[in-house]
Structure 1
Amino acid sequence: MDVPTPPWRTPRKIARQQLSQDLIVRTGLRILDEEGLEALSMRRVAQELGTGPASLYAHVANKEELLELIFDEVVGEIEVPIADPARWRDQLKELCWHMYRVLGSHADVGRLALASIPVGPNAARVSEAFLSIMLAGGLPPQVATWGLDRLYLYVTADAYESSLFLAKQRASGLELDSWADQFFGQVRTYLSQLPADRFPSLTGNVDAMMRGDGDKRFEFGLEMLLRGLDSFRD
């Protein structure tokens, strides 16, 4: 039976969680998801954990390393297949889509891979899968390694752009569909009002330019890249 603590006893302090690199990374990822990259700092993570920033440095060297660890934590959610030469294009497409979905589910995470080379164990596992699939499909090593670089950049950049659109939508206070109708409606109006004598290709193809959502465009770009890679096969 619960009874109150006698007033002459010192109340027990709630035990803090034992600091670890894993706890710091998971806390940083939660801040990133909820508040965005601009809100993430070593001080902010320390505040969330009820400690001082100095105590974090025994586990994480600096913010740059924290961002690398957060990215690798997210990439750990990506499932990778065993390379099948007969399905190499389908496997690449499935892997790219899975990576795109995972990165898109975490705000700003795609941005962490830009202008850097992800080298964590999970990133290496995904890179190994990409490369193994392309080599099994008959792509020369140089083409496969450059293909890995281009596919990685395509997926991460597209995921990051999607997160920017979502940030704009949230800041507007509108529901996603309402914001999209308003934003892209303004783009359509602007393109339609360009002088047709100076911009005949743009004004004559507004419907085609505005057709298709982000997923359809991602699929198109992916197919374009895969067809290009296919042309290099031995």
Structure 2
Amino acid sequence: MPADPGQRRARRAARHAQLPADSPPPASRKAPITAERITDAALRVIATEGYDALTIRRVAAVLDTGPSSLYAHIVNKEDLDELLIARLCSEIALPEPDPGSWRQQLLDVYAQLRDLYLKYPGIPRAALAMVPTHLETLRVSEGILAILLAGGIEPQRAAWALDALTLYVSAYALERSLVRQRQQNHDGDWVLSREELVERFTALPADSFPHTRRHAAELTSGTGHDRFDFTLALIIDNLTGG
């Protein structure tokens, strides 16, 4: 069985540490490069420049070092993605599963994940592209699964609900991040306000788009996270069905 990323990181770090006994001491007292510092620097890049700007070279520049020194602690960009999502998951507080309030507990946990994703524009792409194996990421999925089971959801249904809800949260946060990036990149002409959308919808040919014209207000309604709350509740409230 291939080694997991943590084992690969450990082996790489061990090889890096095997320096000749007469190696000269470093010229300056820089803080040592660690997986934690690499993750911190990567999150700073994403918070200020977006996930698209994240490269090993960019993170190395933030740490004032070369890319090769990072590879003593991470395997590749995919490994860094896993560390990033694990760091965010480590900040999520999980409740003791309560059969009487399991629905609200699910909403609360996923709202935490949503807000963490929105803090780092584009980072859901890292979550969508990987199979979770880090213990912190698995801690959160374990906690969500426990809440679903406490609510009386059958195990297979609970497992697929966990997947569906997590995918939706990632997609929701990614869409919000992409819109915000377009606005910040002076590409605002492609981001329409609600008023502009209503105007366009109501101007459509009535014979081809009667429902869109008539319900333009409903199609464009919702403020803050109204649509997020609606969709999660829609999924959760249907889990106890047949």
Report the 3-state secondary structure (helix = DSSP H, G, I; strand = E; otherwise coil) of the residue aligned with 1:139: coil
Matched, 1:102 2:116: yes
In structure 1, how many angstroms separate the alpha carbons of the residues matched to 2:103 and 2:240? Answer: 8
2:89 counterpart of 1:89: no
Amino acid at match of 1:27: A
Equivalent in 162, 169, 181 of residue 167 of structure 1: 181
Q: Match for 2:150 among 136, 155, 164?
A: 136
- Aligned partner of 2:126 among 87, 107, 112: 112
| AA at the equivalent of 1:112 | A
| Distance in 1, Cα, partners of 2:192 & 2:204 | 19
Name 2:207's counterpart in structure 1.
Answer: 197
SS of 2:100 mapped into structure 1:
helix
Name the amino acid aligned to 2:36: D
Cα distance in 2 for residues equivalent to 1:161 and 1:118 = 22
Corresponding residue for 1:52?
Answer: 66
Q: Which residue pairs with 1:218 in the alignment?
A: 228
Give the direction of change, closer, same or farther, for the CA distance of 1:193–1:173 in structure 2 (3 Å limit). Answer: closer
- Write out per-residue CA displacement over residues 163-202 of structure 1, whole angstroms, 9 at most, x where no aligned residue: 111111212387xxxx999533332222111111111111
Paired residue secondary structure (1:58): coil
Share of identical aligned residues, percent? Answer: 37
Question: What TM-score results when the alignment is normalised by the length of structure 1?
Answer: 0.86
Q: Name 1:152's counterpart in structure 2.
A: 166
TM-superposed CA distance for 1:146, in Å, is: 0.4
State the 1:152 CA deviation.
Answer: 0.6
Structure 1's unaligned 5+ residue stretches are: 1-12
- 1:231 matched to 2:230: no
CA shift, 1:217, in A, is 0.7
Which residue number in structure 2 is paired with residue 122 of structure 1? 136
Shift in Å, 1:148: 0.5
Q: Which residue of 2 aligns with 1:74?
A: 88
1:92-142, CA deviations, whole angstroms, 9 ceiling, x for partnerless residues?
111111211122122212221113322222111110111001111111110
Corresponding position of 1:15: 29
Q: Distance in 2 between matches of 1:181 and 1:171?
A: 11
What is the identity, as a one-letter code, of the residue corresponding to 2:146?
Answer: S
With normalisation by structure 2, the TM-score equals: 0.83
- What amino acid does structure 2 have at the position aligned with 1:82? E
Asked if 1:208 is matched to 2:222, the reply is no
The residue identity in structure 1 corresponding to 2:230 is: F
Structure 1: distance between partners of 2:39 and 2:191: 37
Note closer, same or farther for the CA distance 1:182–1:153 as it changes in structure 2 (3 Å cut). Answer: closer
